[in-house]
Structure 1
């Protein structure tokens, strides 16, 4: 039961000790061998902490078990690091600064035989930063399992046109062995193959353009860059940075209506937590900016913005095959892995992103020349935090950025309520926790490189082929095998499937027997 939920540790202990009557040590050995912990975030606010007063009222026996787990664990810490009382305070699952709480992530680590992150950079961060004390306590428990996606859904099913031209070149073994896509690299200079890739992409874009027209009543230019940012709405994923670029392009057009820009259709979609005020405000800003830009005759079809409502798998199956550009622009060190980035890569979209999450490994697989990387690296983010980050200096020193933030603040995109987006302005200019303003200038320059590259269709298509051909590592088949072998110690069994007609006959026979019963 990997990706264990934190309450299952003490519930299993309660069953084994209270109901089954096992001695504590035996029950604890069974629990640790049964459980493994997959961490999916390093954001402090997302690592659960449960108030003890709530547990005492609702689950008093479970709280007793947690306290005893902690007591036994701290004895173990004391033996390994004698005299280090500060370490014991840091590692206690019972936090007593302010309201007394149980740190559930710590409980997960203590009660598991394996702990993993979901991308190499993420797994390194939890070892060197987030859970450093626990890594020093249990170094053998920590490992990495980079996320994966299923090629059956995210290429074979959702992009049959691309699947067919791949199969024509290398056969169909890639469906169950995604590393076979590496063979496509030999065709990266084959002009006919590149034109076939371009043709399929254009067909997918035209289908998506028709869908957008029908669903949102927005006419988009299917020859424009389809620039897509779909993921959960969160400040660290920096949809706001994308909007700053959108407004930058809009202001360029308004300043010089005859400017020659590579046309772009920006699509942003994703769900937000119901109580997340800033996420809801970001969604509102995207829609308001879209309303201004999409109805400005000076802009025309050079720039369109669409907020994709109710983002879901069935919609992703339409969006991802049509994407030219995938936005993966989280602040370095905040994104655990991502899987959307892999889906876009597999379908021949190019990525603009930071060296965060699985972007790092994607870059290693495809090469720096086939991805658009910008912004601070993790160590630069940490150094900026240590030295003291001043967002206002970037606001004051960059005239484009200054204009954009003033437009947001002064009601340019919300004439019905000039104060509507003041919280966004204040969060960026006075706090900017995720350092959008520091990365803004490099992001804009990188987006300009994207536009320049898009002017050369064959070179762009060549980069797309290298993306597709480098996707093998990011199959969920590989991920699942690693979990099975390296965490659970199991090997796959060979299953001999019956011939189709034999299988059908056996099912029919079973149905007949059931009917007789």
Structure 2
């Protein structure tokens, strides 16, 4: 049976026999296996290949439609993409999941069981990569002509193991097994150059021109991954680049008789796409990171020119046909790379090249923390990218002239705004380069965007207020409700219809059901079933039995001090102490669930993981807390694990210090699945509160303005410690070895840091947080009221669809419109 025998979406759906034939054809002829020799991995691959066949024709038609219609295209460049498993998402977006379930069931195969075989592609650290994946889903579902560009890391985000309570990192070799969702494009090779020197010359018109020569070269090889839209004919492309050694470089070494040298050169060259985010605490790691960023930027810009030139030879059309979105500062080298090509290869004047470049690029900022803004030493750029450093210097000179014309007497302002930083080692401020080189700069929540304008980039806002805007982040409801929570998805669709899958505002219709006792009962049954599923997962992976009738209190995100997992731990210890001191205390049973990875070189974050596990070991083994409090740390947080946790959560911990979280998207995923949020007025928490209602969310602590005020007035964390006996007891237990009897001083650095510095004001917010947790307990004792608020949280999530976010990008920044995919059939091919 051929793929073309399976009708595309919108036509009659295939029969079970059609699907079974396609499945068996791949099992027999692609994998050369039969029912006796096939492993579970073989069954997964056979199914993946069969589903991939269903995508292929639509994928070809999509690309042809963009080409024939000469559509303006969006190129979304990101160093991270956390796509999660592709099989389930593809089945849902194709509208064919139930048909496959039934067809496989007739063959004695459980779809859910074999889907677990797929390896999570961990090509990202967290929210940034997951957001990029949501955006690709929305762009395809909205039929926008768009491409995602990233790196095909051979080793993704490390695999986290917890051994003796501590984090240990293992290689995440996700490509060890075949990846059926990617297609190597041998014909799409681009040369990426490093080092070398720059030679000046004059062209016939007397213009100074530059040639970048004697470079060390690497080849970027494209791998394409299909991104299907939901319920339409669109299949967009995510293109990932893999580093390959140049043939000439290998042969030269080999011909000199240096075979080992040739192999070593090849390995060193291909290290560029080997590992996601190398540790940057060493010079070697920093240099590799810079090479990765340029590798992605150069390969992508060259590829964009390749696509553009297939239809156009007038470079003035570039901004009319191309929109490039920089996902944070990591791809910012695309700006000088585009300039290099326009100047050195296309021979445009500086003024023309800069105008075209600036109108093509847009920049999204994702961080408020100044220390997280990328800076590259001039020394390093000079050695690795000498031509680009020249271009950056000229960009800065032109920019400073413009700024000086606007602020002629303010030399201090010009020093602050310079792309070239002079403090300490001379360096390039990549965020400033992104701002100067883009026609649009956006934050990702209302609060974040205001902080950018009023504080972080206030000088630039004063110069170009028209360039700054907000695009509050969103999540795709296809992945995070329909796919991750099918029981709740089915309940919602049976009640209000399924239009919410492509228009999340439809969830507002659930408000009318919030008081309905029968609907509440069904809602509660779904939540309990999801909690039982998570409880089973916890028992399998951690050996801890937790009750699905306890309150599931979840904090799952990257381990970082500003996200304040430590504040949560302090409350857990205080809660434990209350139970110990008062055995008859009437508090609802609670299971506190943590998950998240710490950067390998981040000492304090890794110590907090050890503390969480140590506290859990003490509490979970104490009969006094047996059925009243449990603490669980789930290892190796991933998209697939998150799809089990979010549907089961009762309470979502979003407790970062106000003014530190740009947006957050985990807060949206939890609320979409009916969890109530306990959080600060930080990031998108503020907008969630506005949408679900102040009475349906637990808000505590200082706001961003109060945080800044306390810091200016002089913050003394010891005062809060001295005046709160419960807090003092919890911190003393951490310091005196209660949770580390074999090494009493193990956790003392945590307490010393809190009392000596406490940069994220945990102690200042502690009393408010604990009081808010008491409110959580009071509400949970009233299940009907809790469920009513849970329904209202889901009902209020319409704004937080990534479809809404992408519609704003498309309309207000990119200037692109949906493209209907026509049939450019290949059925006539032999």
- The residue number in structure 2 matching 1:209 is 535
For the 8 Å contact 2:326–2:332, the answer to whether it is kept is no
* Offset, 1:257: 2.2
- The residue number in structure 1 matching 2:359 is 33
- The residue number in structure 2 matching 1:2 is 325
For residues 462-484 of structure 1, the C-alpha deviation after alignment (integer angstroms, 9 at most, x for no partner) is 00111011000000111111111
Q: Is 2:651 the partner of 1:328?
A: no
- The residue number in structure 1 matching 2:300 is none
Q: 2:679 aligns with which of 347, 350, 353?
A: 353
Q: 1:153 aligns with which of 457, 461, 479?
A: 479
Counterpart Cα distance in 1 of 2:753 and 2:456 = 25
Q: Is 2:338 the partner of 1:12?
A: yes
Counterpart Cα distance in 2 of 1:57 and 1:478 = 43
Q: Is 2:470 the partner of 1:136?
A: no
- The residue number in structure 2 matching 1:53 is 379
* Offset, 1:11: 1.3
- The residue number in structure 2 matching 1:67 is 393
Q: Is 2:628 the partner of 1:302?
A: yes
- The residue number in structure 1 matching 2:430 is 104
**Equivalences for residues 220-231 of structure 1 within 5 A:** 220-231=546-557
**Equivalences for residues 274-423 of structure 1 within 5 A:** 274-423=600-749
Counterpart Cα distance in 1 of 2:326 and 2:650 = 33
Counterpart Cα distance in 1 of 2:792 and 2:462 = 39
Q: Secondary structure at the match of 2:814?
A: coil
Counterpart Cα distance in 1 of 2:804 and 2:471 = 9
Q: Secondary structure at the match of 1:228?
A: strand
Counterpart Cα distance in 2 of 1:3 and 1:450 = 40
Is the helix fraction higher in 1 or 2?
1
For residues 133-159 of structure 1, the C-alpha deviation after alignment (integer angstroms, 9 at most, x for no partner) is 000011000000000100011111111
Residues matched between the structures, number: 504
Counterpart Cα distance in 2 of 1:350 and 1:476 = 21
- The residue number in structure 2 matching 1:125 is 451
Q: Secondary structure at the match of 2:767?
A: helix
Q: Secondary structure at the match of 2:627?
A: helix
For residues 328-378 of structure 1, the C-alpha deviation after alignment (integer angstroms, 9 at most, x for no partner) is 000000000011100011100000000100000000111100000000001
Counterpart Cα distance in 1 of 2:491 and 2:373 = 44
* TM-score normalised by L of structure 1: 0.96
Counterpart Cα distance in 1 of 2:414 and 2:815 = 32
For the 8 Å contact 2:472–2:663, the answer to whether it is kept is yes
Q: Secondary structure at the match of 2:326?
A: coil
Name which one, 1 or 2, has greater alpha-carbon Rg: 2
Counterpart Cα distance in 1 of 2:814 and 2:787 = 41
Q: Which region of structure 1 is more displaced relative to structure 2, 93-102 or 70-79?
A: 93-102
For the 8 Å contact 2:595–2:637, the answer to whether it is kept is yes
Q: Is 2:789 the partner of 1:466?
A: no
Moved over 6 A (4+): none
- The residue number in structure 1 matching 2:169 is none
Q: 2:498 aligns with which of 172, 177, 187?
A: 172
Counterpart Cα distance in 2 of 1:43 and 1:94 = 19
Q: Secondary structure at the match of 2:325?
A: coil
Q: Is 2:775 the partner of 1:449?
A: yes
Counterpart Cα distance in 1 of 2:345 and 2:748 = 57
Q: Which region of structure 1 is more displaced relative to structure 2, 4-13 or 77-86?
A: 4-13
| Alignment root-mean-square deviation, CA | 1.2
Q: 1:427 aligns with which of 745, 750, 753?
A: 753
Q: Which region of structure 1 is more displaced relative to structure 2, 360-369 or 487-496?
A: 487-496
For residues 171-194 of structure 1, the C-alpha deviation after alignment (integer angstroms, 9 at most, x for no partner) is 110100000000111111111111
Counterpart Cα distance in 2 of 1:87 and 1:210 = 58
Q: 1:273 aligns with which of 599, 611, 620?
A: 599
Q: Which region of structure 1 is more displaced relative to structure 2, 326-335 or 403-412?
A: 403-412
For residues 73-101 of structure 1, the C-alpha deviation after alignment (integer angstroms, 9 at most, x for no partner) is 00000111111111111101111112111
- The residue number in structure 1 matching 2:514 is 188
* Offset, 1:426: 1.0
Higher RCO, 1 vs 2 (CA within 8 Å, ≥6 residues apart): 1
Counterpart Cα distance in 2 of 1:146 and 1:95 = 30
Q: Which region of structure 1 is more displaced relative to structure 2, 361-370 or 258-267?
A: 258-267
For the 8 Å contact 2:445–2:471, the answer to whether it is kept is yes
* Offset, 1:494: 4.0
Q: Secondary structure at the match of 2:623?
A: coil
* Offset, 1:267: 0.4
* Offset, 1:29: 1.1
For the 8 Å contact 2:446–2:470, the answer to whether it is kept is yes
* Offset, 1:260: 2.0
Q: 1:254 aligns with which of 566, 569, 580?
A: 580
- The residue number in structure 1 matching 2:404 is 78
Gaps of 5+ in 1: none
Counterpart Cα distance in 2 of 1:15 and 1:490 = 25
Is the strand fraction higher in 1 or 2?
2
* TM-score normalised by L of structure 2: 0.60
* Offset, 1:3: 2.5
Counterpart Cα distance in 2 of 1:341 and 1:438 = 23
* Offset, 1:495: 4.4
- The residue number in structure 1 matching 2:805 is 479
Counterpart Cα distance in 2 of 1:79 and 1:161 = 61
For the 8 Å contact 2:677–2:697, the answer to whether it is kept is yes
